[in-house]
């Protein structure tokens, strides 16, 4: 098996994980035999019948900038989609709302994970209580969905969740920290 790190063949057979950690490098992506790999580096290195592993790394600071940039670009899209779903549910266009809402919920999972990672790297970027409140609002949305109260689902998207996205977008745009210290 050949291993490439940032397009350079890895000559040292062992200690790749330790070397990356020692050099403050984080794994950005892994490809096994040309296919994206979703597991960890340790799992990739233990895969059987592999011809080639390609690993892209970067510093934590670089990765943080990439995550913030991705979140910043994604927020307006998900915000607009939430507003559309809200209007669809409120006007009885439920079939259109359903398909878009499922996509939004998947996107919100990624968004919450990204925000949590930003908070880990920059404690206080968003106060934990704001993230918890957002998650509570999502639980309310899921309960309304289960109860088939789609007008409430629309209202929750439009009036309860969108303001959080606006707040997060402002935080990213202004590079502010919400800590009140």
Question: Which tens digit of pLDDT belongs to each residue from 120-152?
Answer: 888 878 888 888 999 999 999 999 999 999 889
Residues in the chain with pLDDT values less than 70 = 12-14, 175-181
Tokens of 14: 């062992």
72, 59, 2, 10 alpha-carbon torsion, rounded to 10°:
160
- Which residues have CB under 8 Å from 26's CB, separation 6+? 20, 57, 58, 59, 60, 63
d(C-alpha 116, C-alpha 136), whole Å: 15
DSSP-derived letter for residue 158 is: I
The CB density around residue 132, as the number of other CB atoms within 10 Å, is: 10
């Amino acid at each position: 098996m050949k291993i490439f790190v940032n397009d350079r063949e890895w000559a040292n057979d062992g200690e790749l994980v330790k070397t990356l950690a020692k050099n403050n490098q984080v794994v950005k992506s892994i490809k096994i035999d040309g296919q994206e790999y979703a597991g960890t580096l340790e799992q990739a290195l233990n895969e059987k019948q592999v011809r080639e592993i390609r690993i892209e790394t970067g510093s934590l600071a670089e990765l943080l900038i990439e995550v913030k940039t991705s979140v910043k670009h994604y927020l307006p899209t998900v915000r607009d989609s939430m507003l559309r779903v809200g209007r669809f549910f409120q006007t009885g266009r439920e079939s259109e709302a359903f398909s878009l809402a499922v996509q939004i919920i998947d996107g919100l999972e990624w968004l919450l994970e990204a925000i949590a990672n930003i908070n880990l790297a920059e404690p206080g970027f968003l106060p934990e209580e704001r993230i918890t409140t957002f998650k509570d609002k999502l639980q309310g949305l899921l309960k309304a969905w289960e109860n088939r109260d789609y007008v409430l689902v629309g209202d929750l998207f439009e009036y309860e969740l969108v303001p959080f996205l606006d707040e997060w977008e402002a935080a990213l745009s202004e590079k502010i920290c919400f800590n009140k210290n």
